[in-house]
Amino acid sequence: MPTLPPGFRLQRETNTEEFFINMGPQHPSTHGALRLALRMDGETIVELVPHFGYIHRGMEKQAESMSYLQYIALSDRQDYLTAIQNNLGVVIALEKGMNVGVPEKGEYIRVMLQELGRIASHLVFFGCFGGDLGGQTCLLFGFKEREMIHDILEEVTGSRLTTNFFRPGGSRYDVPETFIPRVKAFLDHLEDSMRDYERFLSKNIIVLERSIGIGVLSKEDAIAYGCSGPVLRASGVNFDVRRVNPYSIYDQFDFDIPVFHNGDCYDRYKIRIAEIHESMKILRQCIDKFPKEGPWRSKEKPVRLPEGRYYSEIETAKGLYATYVVAATTGEKPYRIHTRGPSFPHIAALNKMAQGHKISDLVTIMATLDPVIPEIDR
Amino acid sequence: MGIINYAPKILDPIPGGKYVVNAIDYVVNWARANSIWPLTYGTSCCAIEMMSSSMARYDIARFGSEVFRSSPRQADLFILAGTITRRMAPAIQMLWEQIPGPKYVIAMGACTISGGPFIYDNYSVVRGAQNLIPVDVFVPGCPPRPEALFHGLLTLREKILKETCRHPWHEGKPKDVSTMDRYREAAKTWAALEEMKDEAMAEARAKFKEEHPDYKSAYKPVRVKKEDFPEVPRVPFKRFGLTQSELFAKLREKFPKVTVHTHSEDPIEDVVAAIPADRPLEVMVEPEDYLSIVEFVKSSPEFNMDYLIDVTAIDYDDHFDMVTMLRSLEHGHKLFLCVQMKKDFSIPEEKRATSLLASVKSISHLYPGAEVKEREVYDMFGINFEGHPDQRRIFLDKDFVGYPLRKDFTHPQMIRRPV
């Protein structure tokens, strides 16, 4: 048996000649700086080894010399598609330490921005999924509605992408008066265009042929690898932090957790489309119940955490985003902050999904995992 | 590049030839400046803004750059969208070398200009793309808006229009990666300049006071009254699954050595009962019990910890705390196992920074997802995992010296944050 490159461990006897292909770190369909080493038999993938670290920026080392508030700005740059959700994940952990609550209006602002962020992330998925399958038009479609969300975010937070918005006890600013009418107008627009988009992609014969039965992740494997979010729910596990450990005021809304059972690429696509509809449901309820009066943040306190370890978890568009804050002494600086991003286990499970498929199917599988590499490498 | 650079040599001796040369310049520049094809490259946040700029709202096609090429051999423009790490640097130089000339580089975002938010206490980020390859245009912002990128593109266009056959595009050289860090020198020069400026200002102020002894500023500070917010209590946490006391009692029945971290002298049961409901139970575990406890909580139907959230570690002066976060999908309770590992101080002091200081059993055969997480802990802290199938560095190069998340880690390129 010849010696294999590092990472490969499948031993098998073959009559064909195997060869190795390097995919990345600069490759359009690895969604960032990720390198995949592929062991091929003809055009079939025998084994796959991901190599991380091409965008490892040492955020956790930096966090040790930062104050808690400064780290919120760094969390934007982890998963930049759901920056507004990462902010909340960090802030909830800090709130647990400081023991401050959020007034009702502040909670509504949080939930609404969370769901807008979720829709924005899923629209990018929609675009990239279509784009990776060869339909560049989908990219244009997905980003069309996304720009409207960016307009709303820019009006509220002052930034398009890296929002840095939430603070312990509420948020940085109150929402402007135009916020609710704009969200309402956006939802009406999105409902129409989602109907078009689904007709465009969901029954498309190319999409069906290239995604049904491709990259199947069984329920057991999905749990064992620690997958979360749409990837786990597409494999038939009903797990959503908004339902099992409700944070903010998610327990006051009526919405469903879509669960699919095949665990293939098509289910992972369908589940995200279904989640956009659920998010729209939550947003509509928010608009109806949004308190016009009242404070939007609680009394400002210095961000000092007492000694202890604080843990928070939220459901971002990608899955379970957990923050673990260690405060060794009471003060303004953390001893250590660790972030658990949802994409890391997904790429770890990629080998399981891609084995036995053709190399072009790997592009589909990568697209449906919707990974963001800076959040893996941090 | 190419045959048109010889045009002046051939045409200048001919009467009226220089007008033909100018006409050739005009046509070539018109073609080049209106079809700058960028390379599809992006590492982080700026890549999304680069994508946005090529979509319907902003429409980069107005400037002739809509053809994003996946192969560097077909591209003219290298938009460096996103942070550049030391591990990515050779790949960037290679990509740049593969682009045929004339080639142009736009450094997009704060990270590619100076390191951006990742300047201080950082061991992996390259502080500025100009340390790797020649850069034509810098676009500031974090991330820059699409309009800013377009401004950069138009600036580049102006630069291209100034090229002629007589002063053609000139190929720079990629920089040597080993001499990358010129930040310190620049910082020193900057500090000296600042000092000079301060002195000059102080002199001017003293002079002004001498000349106008009874001058009073008309400026009055206006303070906006802060809004008065009430204090809001936290919403009570909704618990699922077993309580912390039940979890602890059941675990203690089987493993009497487990405790929780406490400074008080109360009985341990009271300490556990006093933990707030929204904080997961974190039990201290002996390293030799660790594997059997994980096996037990995974297989026992009462616990049923089938989901591994994360494995991480914390470095203290004389020990590591390794935290394994487990969760039961069925019941909903969480259990954090904290393994306290004494550092191996028998290793001579000069070798400690580069050697593995503690060892623990791997749980990757129970949870396949733990494999990459344990590799991360090994990479960042230098903790050995016995029985790990593939223990390699995961985020850093294999010849990287030291373990970055240890508190005493030093790196020649690391700049301490000024306090």
* Per-residue model confidence as pLDDT tens digits over A204-248: 888 888 888 888 989 988 999 989 989 999 998 988 888 888 888
Q: For residue B185, what pLDDT is reported? A: 67
Q: Report how far residue B360's alpha carbon sits from residue B362's, in angstroms, rounded to the nearest whole number.
A: 6
Structural domain contains residue A52:
no
For residue B315, the SS3 value is strand
A69 contacts: CB under 8 Å, gap ≥ 6: A167, A303
pLDDT tens readout for residues B352-408: 888 888 889 998 888 988 999 999 999 999 899 988 888 888 888 888 888 999 888
pLDDT of chain B, 419 residues: tens digit per residue:
567 777 778 887 888 888 888 888 888 888 888 888 998 888 888 888 988 898 888 888 888 888 888 888 989 899 998 888 888 888 888 888 888 878 899 999 898 988 888 888 888 888 888 888 889 899 998 889 899 999 999 999 988 888 887 777 878 777 766 555 555 666 677 788 888 989 999 999 999 999 988 888 888 877 777 777 877 877 777 777 788 888 888 888 888 887 788 777 777 777 777 777 778 888 888 888 888 988 898 888 888 888 999 999 999 988 899 999 998 888 888 889 999 888 888 888 888 888 888 889 998 888 988 999 999 999 999 899 988 888 888 888 888 888 999 888 888 878 777 76
Q: Helix B146-161 and helix B45-53: axis angle, to 10°?
A: 70
Interfacial A residues in 143-182 facing B (CB < 8 Å): 143-144, 146-147, 150, 160-162, 169
AA letter at A267: D
How would you classify the pairing of strands B137-139 and B104-108? parallel
Q: Of A229, A232, A253, which is closest to residue A241 (Cα–Cα)?
A: A229
Q: Beta partners for A50?
A: A36
What is the maximum alpha-carbon separation in chain B? 105
| Dihedral sign computed on CA atoms, order A283, A289, A295, A300 | negative
- Report the pLDDT averaged over residues A283-296: 88
Cβ-based neighbours of B64, under 8 Å, separated by 6 or more: B34, B35, B36
* Residue of B45, B120, B390 lying closest to A65 (CB–CB): B120
Residue A111, domain member (yes or no): yes
Q: What is the pLDDT of residue A1?
A: 58
Q: In this complex, is the C-beta atom of B367 within 8 Å of any C-beta atom belonging to chain A?
A: yes
If you search the block for the tokens 């899955």, which residue do you land on? Answer: A319
Task: Please indicate, yes or no, if residue A6 is contained in any of the structural domains.
Answer: no
Please count the residue pairs, one from chain A and one from chain B, whose beta carbons lie less than 8 angstroms apart: 222
For tokens 């797990």, name the residue.
A239
**What distance in Å separates the CA atoms of residue A121 and residue A143, rounded to the nearest whole number?**
10
3-class DSSP assignment, residue B69: strand
A226 reaches B (C-beta below 8 A): yes
CA atoms within 13 A on the CB side of B64: 13
Residue B310: strand pairing partners: B325
CB contact under 8 A, A54 and B117: no
Cα separations in angstroms, A111 against A218, A287, A299, A316, B259? 32, 11, 20, 12, 38
Q: Which domain, by its residues, includes A358?
A: 60-372
Contacts of A299 in chain B (CB under 8 A): 229-232
Say how many residues make up chain B. 419
Indicate left, alpha or beta for B27 from its phi (over 0: left) and psi (-120 to 50: alpha).
alpha
Q: Which two tokens stand for residue B282?
A: 């974190």
Q: Give the span between the Cα atoms of A149 and A113, in whole angstroms.
A: 10
> Looking at CA atoms only, how far is residue B193 from chain A in angstroms?
28
**C-alpha dist (Å) from residue A24 to B8, B137, B162:** 43, 26, 36
Look at residue A282 in the predicted model and tell me its pLDDT.
92
End-to-end alpha carbon distance in chain B: 51
Contact of A304 with chain B, judged by CB distance below 8 Å, is answered with no
Residue B168: its pLDDT value, please?
Answer: 77
User: CA-CA distance, A35 to B90, in Å (whole number)?
Assistant: 14
Please count the structural domains in chain A: 1
> Is the torsion defined by CA of B313, B315, B316, B318 positive or negative?
positive
**Cα B259 to Cα A146, B256, B317, B325, distances in angstroms:** 50, 8, 21, 16
Quick check: B68 and B39 in contact, CB under 8 A? yes
Is A331 an interface residue toward B (CB < 8 Å)? no
Is residue A100 a part of any domain in this protein? yes
For chain A, report the end-to-end CA distance as a whole number of angstroms. Answer: 37
Averaged confidence pLDDT in chain A: 88
Q: Which residue of B has its CA nearest to A297?
A: B229
Q: Could you tell me if residue A174 is inside a domain?
A: yes
Contact A65 B416 (CB under 8 A): yes
Q: What is the DSSP-derived secondary structure letter of residue A358? A: B
Q: Which residues pair with B383 in a beta bridge?
A: B358
Best mutation target, B229, B244, B336, to test chain A (most A CBs within 10 A): B229
Chain A: give the shortest CA distance to residue B12, in Å.
45
Give every CB contact of residue B117 below 8 A, 6+ residues apart in sequence.
A73, A74, A77, B110, B111, B142
Cα angle, residue A320 at apex, residues A286 and A89 outer, rounded to 5°? 60
Contact between A294 and A154 (Cβ < 8 Å): no
Supply the DSSP string of B117-136, one letter for each residue: GG-TT-SSB-S-GGGTS--S
Establish how many alpha carbons lie within 13 A of residue A122's alpha carbon, considering only the half-sphere containing its beta carbon.
28
- Does B325 sit within 8 Å of A322, measured CB to CB? yes
How many CB atoms lie under 10 A from the CB of residue B281?
20
Evaluate whether A117 touches A89 at the Cβ level (below 8 Å). no
Residues 226-255 of B with CB under 8 A from A: 229-235, 238, 240
CA distance B309 to chain A (A): 6
Q: Is residue A221 part of a domain?
A: yes
Nearest to A311 by CA among A375, A376, A371, A245: A245
State the Cα–Cα distance between residues A141 and A197, nearest whole angstrom. Answer: 8
| Distance (Å, whole) CA A338 – CA A327 | 12
Task: Report the SS3 class of residue A353.
Answer: helix
B4, B28 contact by CB (below 8 A):
yes
Say whether A77 and B117 touch across the interface (CB within 8 A): yes
User: Rounded mean pLDDT of A142-168?
Assistant: 88
CATH number of A144's domain:
1.10.645.10
Task: Name which of A370, A260, A259 is nearest A316 in CA terms.
Answer: A370
pLDDT at B252: 84
Q: Does B203 touch chain A (CB under 8 A)?
A: no
**B48: chain A residues, CB-CB within 8 Å:** 80-81, 124, 161
Task: Look at residue A311 and give its three-state secondary structure.
Answer: strand
A338 and chain B: CB distance < 8 Å anywhere? yes
What residues contact residue B154 under an 8 Å CB cut-off, 6+ apart? Answer: B63
Min Cα distance A310 → chain B (Å) is 7
The pLDDT value given to residue A53: 86
Please report which confidence band the pLDDT of residue A118 belongs to, taking 50, 70 and 90 as the band edges: very high
Q: How far is B241 from chain A (nearest CA, A)?
A: 10
Question: What pLDDT does B177 receive?
Answer: 61
Of B280, B312, B395, the CB nearest to A52: B395
Residue pair B332/B240 in contact (Cβ under 8 Å)? The answer is yes
- Say whether A336 and B83 touch across the interface (CB within 8 A): no
Q: Is residue A238 part of a domain?
A: yes
| pLDDT at residue A2 greater than cutoff 60 | yes
pLDDT of residue A275: 92
Residue A170 CA from chain centroid, whole number: 22
Contact A309 B42 (CB under 8 A): no
* CB contact (8 A) between residue B405 and residue A60: yes
From the CA of A312, how many Å to the nearest CA of chain B?
9
Question: In the structure encoding, which two tokens stand for residue B376, read together?
Answer: 């991360």
pLDDT of B152: 92
Quick one: how far is CA B365 from the chain centroid? Answer: 31
Amino acid at B416: R
**Within an 8 Å CB–CB cutoff, is residue A31 touching chain B?**
no
Any CB–CB contact under 8 A between A244 and chain B?
yes
B373: its two tokens: 């997480």
CB spacing of B42 vs A143 below 8 angstroms = no
* Residues on chain B touching A134 (C-beta within 8 angstroms): none
B118 and A335 within 8 Å at the Cβ level: the answer is no
Phi/psi at A321 (5° precision)? -115, 110
**Residue A171 maps to a domain:** yes
Classify residue B307 by burial, with Cβ atoms within 10 Å: 0-12, 13-18, 19+: buried
Residue with tokens 């037990």: B296
Element (H, E) at A87: helix A83-98
Q: What percent of chain A has pLDDT over 90?
A: 21
Question: What are the backbone angles phi and psi of residue A19, rounded to the nearest 5°?
Answer: -145, 165
CB contact under 8 A, B229 and A295: yes
